[in-house]
Amino acid sequence: MKIKDIQEEIIEEFAFFEDWMQRYEHMISLGKSLPIIDKANKKDDYLIKGCQSKVWVFPEFKDGKVFFTADSDAIITKGIVALLLRVFSNQTPEDILNADTAFIDEIGLKEHLSPTRANGLVSMIKQLKMYALAYQSQLN
């Protein structure tokens, strides 16, 4: 599935929720249900330090596509990490570099991607793109 289509799918999914509490409950369940990183990769080399919560991101490059696994110590952050992985993982480096994160605004979670929030998510997105850029340069 293309990044744009996945983002549309997430927006539709969130449209069912009537209020913030349902949206958050959904995110929390996303955060809880996903074992999203291998324990061996949850180390400082892959750690993005936010002031408030920590995020780990581990990249792999297979058959021209980038695969990410990730984790966070805070469950709400982890829920958003899960959404971001759904969008950015299993994509080509080029598509990752061209993608934006406007869908996060549309599903009412904008505040979590504010640079002042210091939860590691803004740095995480930068990091995803950095990995994509690195793999792209391998291809060329």
Partner 1 sequence: MNTNSKSIAFDVEKIRKDFPILSRKVNGYPLVYLDNAATSQKPQVVIDALVDYYSNYNANIHRGVHSLSQEATDAYEQAREKIRAHFNIKKTREVIFTAGTTHAINLVASGFRKILQKGDELIVSALEHHSNIVPWQMLCEETGAVLKVLPMNEQGELDLVEYINLLSNKTKLVFVNHISNALGTINPIEEIIEKAHKVGAAVLIDGAQACSHIKPDLQTLNADFYTCSAHKMCGPTGVGILYGKEGWLAKLPPYQGGGEMIKEVTFEKTTYAELPHKFEAGTPNIADGIAFGVALDYLNTIGFDAIANYENQLLEYATEKLLEIEGLKIYGTSAHKTSVISFNIKNIHPYDIGTILDKLGIAVRTGHHCAQPIMDFYNIPGTVRASFAFYNTFHEIDVLVEAIKKAKVMLT
Q: Would you say 117 or 129 has its CB closer to partner 1?
A: 117
Taking the complex as a whole, the smallest distance from the CB of residue 121 to partner 1 amounts, in Å, to 11
Q: Taking CB under 8 A as the rule, does residue 55 contact partner 1?
A: no
The length of the chain, given as a count of residues: 140
**Nearest 10 degrees: CA dihedral of 65, 61, 98, 17?**
80
Three-state DSSP class for 49?
strand
Angle, helix 75-88 to helix 20-33, in steps of 10 degrees: 80
Residues 6+ apart with CB under 8 A from 67: 59, 60, 61, 89, 90
Taking the complex as a whole, the smallest distance from the CB of residue 60 to partner 1 amounts, in Å, to 27
Determine which residue in the list 11, 74, 97, 113 makes contact with partner 1, applying CB under 8 A.
74
* Residue 92 DSSP symbol: -
In the shown chain, the binding pattern of residues 99 to 128 toward partner 1, with x for contact by CB under 8 A and - for none, equals: -------------------xx---------
Determine which residue in the list 13, 15, 33, 51 makes contact with partner 1, applying CB under 8 A.
51
The residues assigned a catalytic role are: 51
Q: State the residues that interact with partner 1 by CB under 8 A.
A: 20-21, 24-25, 28, 51-54, 73-77, 118-119
